[in-house]
Structure 1
């Protein structure tokens, strides 16, 4: 199985300049060479097309969700690219850009696999809807959308309906949740491990619980979505919504190694590097270090389409 790089230079989900330069920065930092160290065949399929939309038109398509139409269009194209990658027996590594891209990556993976779990590693829940979001920024909504909640144009992207069942979603590291998200998580009975849960019960225990839960459900296919703001804000200045009391780099690598070495991860997002906010490329260099860890530990297996 080969690795296929798919860049998504989007900032419409976070509505903050800089995130769109993440893919370019990681290429400049040698992401392809880093991956080739561990996986011989790497194909860079370039970037998903991002239309130019003026800030004055951000609410032109929805009164509460910013940049709705371009987000739908971009994620539809991304979903098809991810789906075609899996059809070709390749591993899609989607890097951004803000976390709004997870809508397309999960939609594409979900179309290929009938049974899909999602591990969401993030300081935020990203389970707001247009009715609960205090900002209207879609990067705080993609997970609720793939669960079937929110505007129909988003829920029905690429194919109609829910992309993943709530019982197969695992949120790890959350520590900045809006009130609406807390209620949505309760209503959907989501498995959500806050940073306080992890400090109380031990990171190793939480990781084992997630892996065992997925295996016991009979699911072999997992999409891993990694937001760098899950790390403590002191070590990732170059991200749009940094939060304190986060994971250390060592803990971040432990989480990645544990999940990637299972052979269950069939697609992955890596998001929210903002080079314009970075300080002397500290965050960009850390991202390259994490990507090195990702591909050192990624165990690839030939995908088998769900029936």
Structure 2
């Protein structure tokens, strides 16, 4: 299999220094060698260009969304990189950077596929808009924008209109949802599996249900977006918004294995490593362990 490795060194979506160094840290930890161990052809497309924007200009393009224009521009470039990789029959593996890049990944995948599904593995729903976000941080908005809800330059990124249908969105592991996100999830009838749900019915049961729903629809490609803060906060000190009561390492690997083994996954994000917050490279090492596991399954 051909792998297109795309780094997106951005922190504008989370407005917290350090997330932009995630791709560099993973390369220092030999991510390319790790992937090649599994006999994959890796095309390292490098890092997308991220312009320097002074902090005092964060609201220059929107009164409620920080760094809107650079976030939109960078995600548009990412969308085209993902679309180009898929067109070349390569598997786009996108490393962040904050989770605002999920919008670009989904947009590129959506342009390539006729009917995309998205599996969003995250402690957060990321379905806020400028009207519901308590922070104005766009890393909490990409999935809403992909659904066609929110600020027009985000919802119409790369091409006009929604990128994914509500029926085809599966949020797994959420346990820190804002009021507006809960309301939107109900309105759109999203497939939302909170950590409370998962603990109640069992992880394997949830995964099985998601796979069955995707396989029984006319989906022709699935994008998997994995935010490391879905893991319990004790495991990931090096991430911007850690939350307790998350997955342990074994559960995280079960999620990845079960979805990747289906052959449904055609593109993937790994996001929100912040080396500035890490303790003795604990989180970076966990990410590399997960990357090794991911490509063992593909």
Q: How does 1:19-30 map to 2 (within 5 A)?
A: 19-30=19-30
Q: How many residues align structurally?
A: 298
The runs of 4+ residues in structure 1 deviating greater than 3 Å are: none
TM-superposed deviation, 1:219: 1.6
Q: TM-score, normalised by structure 2?
A: 0.99
Counterpart CA distance in 2 for 1:15 and 1:211 is 34
Who is 2:117 aligned against?
117
Contact 1:2/1:39, CA 8 A, preserved across alignment: no
TM-superposed deviation, 1:191: 0.5
Who is 2:257 aligned against?
257
Who is 1:272 aligned against?
272
Q: TM-score, normalised by structure 1?
A: 0.96
Q: How does 1:106-145 map to 2 (within 5 A)?
A: 106-145=106-145
Counterpart CA distance in 2 for 1:81 and 1:203 is 33
Who is 1:59 aligned against?
59
Who is 1:218 aligned against?
218
Counterpart CA distance in 2 for 1:205 and 1:40 is 31
Structure 2 gaps, min length 5: none
Contact 2:114/2:220, CA 8 A, preserved across alignment: no
Q: Cα deviations across residues 198-226 of structure 1 (Å, max 9, x unaligned)?
A: 00000000000000010011323100000
Give 3-state SS (helix, strand or coil) of 1:128's partner: coil
Structure 1 gaps, min length 5: 299-307
Q: Cα deviations across residues 44-86 of structure 1 (Å, max 9, x unaligned)?
A: 0000110110000000000000000000100000001100001
TM-superposed deviation, 1:196: 0.4
Higher mean Cα deviation, 211-220 or 53-62? 211-220
Do structure 1's residue 97 and structure 2's residue 71 form an aligned pair? Answer: no
TM-superposed deviation, 1:114: 1.1
TM-superposed deviation, 1:164: 0.3
Q: How does 1:129-278 map to 2 (within 5 A)?
A: 129-278=129-278
TM-superposed deviation, 1:40: 2.9
TM-superposed deviation, 1:38: 1.0
Q: Cα deviations across residues 114-147 of structure 1 (Å, max 9, x unaligned)?
A: 1100000000000000000000000000000000
Query: How big is the alpha-carbon RMSD for the aligned residues of Structure 1 and Structure 2?
Result: 0.6
